[in-house]
A and B are shown apart, each in its own frame.
Chain A
Amino acid sequence: MMGIRQCGSAAFAGAAFMIASGVFQGVASGQLAGDLLAARQAEARRIAVIEQASRASCSVFAASGQGGGSGVVISADGLALTNYHVVKPCGMYMHCSMPDGQLYDAVLVGLDPTGDVALIKLLGRDDFPTATLGDSDQVRVGDNCFAVGNPFLLATNFEPTVTWGIVSGVHRYQYPAGTLLEYADCLQTDAAINPGNSGGPLFNDRGELIGINGRASFEKRGRVNVGVGYAISINQIKLFLDHLSSGRIVDHATLGATVGTDHQGRVIVDNILQTSDAYRRGLRYGDEMVSFGGRSIRTVNQFKNVLGIYPKGWRLPLEYRRDGKTTQIEVRLAGVHSAQQLIELVEGRQGDSMPGPRRPPQPDSSKSEKSTIPAAAKKLIEKKSGFANYYFNRIRVSEIWERYAAQGVAGNADQKWRVEARLADQTPVTIVLSQTGSGMQWGEQAAVLDLDLDLSEQVIPLESGGLLPALHLWQRLVTLGPARFGDVYYLGGLPWNGVAGNAHVLTGTFNVVQMQFMFDPVDSQMIGLEMWTDPHRDPCVIHFDNYRSFAGTMFPSVIRVQNGDQFQWELFVDDVTLAQDDP
């Protein structure tokens, strides 16, 4: 008879276990027994943390069943993070398996191809288990961490693979492939990361999500882990989360300047575009980087690590040194790609754009394409060029607008607004706004907009960068609403003076003028706007403060106007009258 001895029950409470299984046959020294208790306790803690954290993990598959990767759910209604390179082959509809043994339908929400991040939404529940977001800037080398995912797609029963290790490095920089898949300020771990782990969570030993695994050094043995894996830091993803929820293909940022290391090992500007905001703020060739985004800069990688974690349009403090004198500026970051480039990079490689005319769908092919999308998913999918999934943008715009309208501000189409105000020096200012014609008078000067000409040609007052056209378009949005304003969409969240968290941004273009309308994250009040008559010039920046009721409508009682570093206006509104428009 084959005598394999089975030992007693292994409860994972150290002491209980020791007694039950009668380990050490009583010969163990007290020291050993103590060590075992400690080990069993640490083990029990680890088991509990892993059990808790892995519930939120998922595997991602194309609806055809091919390929796949990992992901992690971050909201009870099913929003989940994964890698761009995981969802890319899947298109807009996919399947996600979870450790509960269930297979869920999922749709694409947003894409960050440069950061290799994708946001998807699992369907069918409003109580998905979710991961707790940690703070990756608190992560230190040597911290325990664990990866959960589907390496080599082994999880045929949907049970994920858990691998344990330590953080081997922080603030690592890994170069992009072309302009995509750049891993800036990322985490490095010796927990096993293999093909299929891509998109899956990296947790700290408290079970908090600190990163999204996406990359490993496979050079040596070809697609097999060799002790070096990288995770996109969760803090970078937090900065992009609003953008990703917009259903857009979001872009990363560039300073409009590049840096290099000189012979003394200083990081200096070795190239700068005259059209960049940094240049307008005073940065020049040869200046030494001192700090950027609040971090001191001593290597080129440190600079790239800061630049790589912010979305296009973000504003960051920058400190540079010239002739021993350091200067503090705030710069607005431009996009890495043009809108068109992004679309080509993303869609150009997807199924939608095949060469030649498409064959009309046939019974055959439609049947061979067995992945018929269920209705529940179908109604959450709207294709539109430049968007990962336009449906989610449409929803966000109407959400924001409804809540804004509820503030009792929006007027109706045929309104004329007359605003009486003073500058700080008591100069009277009168502004009349109407979609049939707007004008203003300040001190001795007066001007009206000629609506037959390009607004970009009518920068009034000149030094303001275009206060009048800006307010004209403001009134246009308020009175007509986003649908009739023109092409308006939700951009995401950007920092805005005087708001905790990020302002929600609706952006729109009216003929050639680019507008960004800022909404309070809490009550969706419109707290300001920015207008570009020329993308290479400073925008006219307007803050709406202290909303008060004028003639039964909520209206900002203080309007601060800014253009570049020179122009500053503060308008104190005395009176607003709303009249029927008489053309």
Chain B
Amino acid sequence: MRFANTSQAIYFFAIGLASWLVPVPPTLVQPAVAQSPNDIHQVLQSVQPKMVKIFGAGGLNRLEAYQTGCLISGDGLILTSWSYVLDSDDVAVMLSDGRRLVAELVGFHPQLEIALLKIDVAEQPFFDLDAAGSANSGTRVLVFSNLYGIATGNEAVSVQRGVVAAKTKLAARRGAMETAYQGPVWILDAITSNPGSAGGAVTDRHGQLIGLVGKELRSSQSNVWLNYAIPVSELGPAIDEVLTGSARSRPATLVTPDEPMSLELLGIVLVPNVLARTPPFIDQIAPDSPAARAGFRPDDLIIEVAGALTPSRNEVTRRLENVDRDSAVTITVQRGQQFIKQTLRVN
């Protein structure tokens, strides 16, 4: 299902869940004709009315009670980031003209951590996700968000400019991320990781939506705040799932085998684990063990297990836990300046 008839979706969906969702009449709103102005001022004029300021829970111990949202249907469907701000009975939405309206939570998507709100308006300009722009690294972008809640009333939300720095998967990022989302994201060359930015719009130079500003995240190891956005390509299906109520939490991590592989089984003893990041040097090899048969020796440095780099001793054991003890595992060691890659199997 796509967006020309969102409101129908909500309508049918509503009948299913009338208990907590206000049914809205199925007015069929056509998206405004997508023209692509080149003058940045025209672009800003065309985008600003599609942006909303969201006010909800928070305000305590340095948690801001505001964030940003994007209108994605003419009758007031709003796409935003799923956060504690929405965890409130009275979430208010302020339109670019200063009108303040009560918002209903339509639903949220646990993986993407996005949410849909509904306000009661008609013929409001909105981002047409069918006509959404695409991007790759180097694409120049504009970012619209109410960071720091600077804009109040009918004041326009803040605009930043940058480029798409890279496309990557959050899971592939350095360090552990405090988020459920593991999918692809745009890393942005603009400082969007700020209070209130979440739910903001990332558009191309022509004002076409290409992504939604994610919540504030930093790598717990490098301490670098991440400026990222969730691509439209990921948003579309997720929004459908929310509207059809099929969005469910799935376990983010892999299921580990009941009987996992272990260093003992392979006949490998590593140097004692003294540091947070002890290098996985082999200390001893059990005679005629799989490791011995593979030709591994003491002082070899394990650098790869099952195709993944093993920066530390802990990482080696963690990787092995994801391998079933009955299946083969490839291990690469460094000896001097050469790599030795072997496939090991327990008997």
- Give the interface of B toward A (CB within 8 A): 40-41, 43-44, 98-100, 147-148, 150-156, 158-161, 190-195, 225
Contacts and interface: CB of A to CB of B under 8 A. Distances in A.
B161 A169 contact: no
A299 B152 contact: yes
Given A141-B44, A142-B41, A220 B151 contact: no
B159 A168 contact: yes
B98 A299 contact: yes
Contacts of B99: 265
Main secondary structure of the interface of A (DSSP, over half): loop
A521 interface: no
Given A166-B160, A228-B148, A301-B153, A142 B100 contact: no
B155 A217 contact: no
Contact of A188 (B41, B43, B150): B150
A297 to B, nearest CB: 11
Interface residues of A, number: 26
A169 B156 contact: yes
Interface in A175-205: 188, 190
Contacts of B159: 141-142, 166, 168-169, 190
A213 B42 CA distance: 27
Contacts of A172: 150, 155
A386 interface: no
A168 B192 CA distance: 13
A227 interface: yes
A168 B154 contact: no
Contacts of B193: 226
A166 B192 CA distance: 15
Interface in A293-326: 298-302
B194 A220 contact: yes
B153 A227 contact: no
B40 A227 contact: no
B225 A219 contact: no
Interface string A28-57: 000000000000000000000000000000
A223 interface: no
A166 to B, nearest CB: 5
* The 3 A-B residue pairs with the shortest CB-CB distance in the complex, in nearest-first order: A227-B191, A299-B153, A142-B40
Contacts of B153: 261, 265, 298-302
Residue picked from A190, A219, A261, A302, most chain B C-beta under 10 Å: A190
Given A140-B41, A188-B158, A261-B153, 5 more contacts: A169-B158, A227-B147, A227-B190, A299-B152, A302-B153
B191 A168 contact: no
Contacts, number: 77
B155 A299 contact: yes
Contacts of B147: 217, 227-228
B147 to A, nearest CB: 6
Contacts of A225: 191
A228 B195 contact: no
A38 B205 CA distance: 17
A206 to B, nearest CB: 16
A357 B187 CA distance: 61
A166 B43 CA distance: 14
A165 interface: yes
A579 to B, nearest CB: 65
Contacts of B41: 140-142
A171 interface: yes
Contacts of A227: 147, 160, 190-192, 194
Contacts of A141: 41, 44, 156, 159
B158 A228 contact: yes
A359 interface: no
A209 B150 CA distance: 24
Contacts of B100: 265
B95 to A, nearest CB: 12
B152 A228 contact: no
B155 A171 contact: yes
A165 B100 CA distance: 31
Given A142-B41, A190-B191, A227-B191, A301 B160 contact: no
B225 A190 contact: no
Contacts of B150: 169, 172, 188, 217, 228
B160 A219 contact: no
A172 B153 CA distance: 12
Interface string A526-553: 0000000000000000000000000000
A379 interface: no
12 contacts: A142-B41, A166-B161, A168-B158, A169-B155, A169-B156, A169-B159, A219-B195, A226-B194, A227-B190, A227-B194, A228-B148, A265-B99
Contact of B151 (A169, A221, A300): A169
Nearest to A168: B158
A265 B158 contact: no
B155 A301 contact: yes
A299 B154 contact: yes
Contacts of A301: 152-153, 155
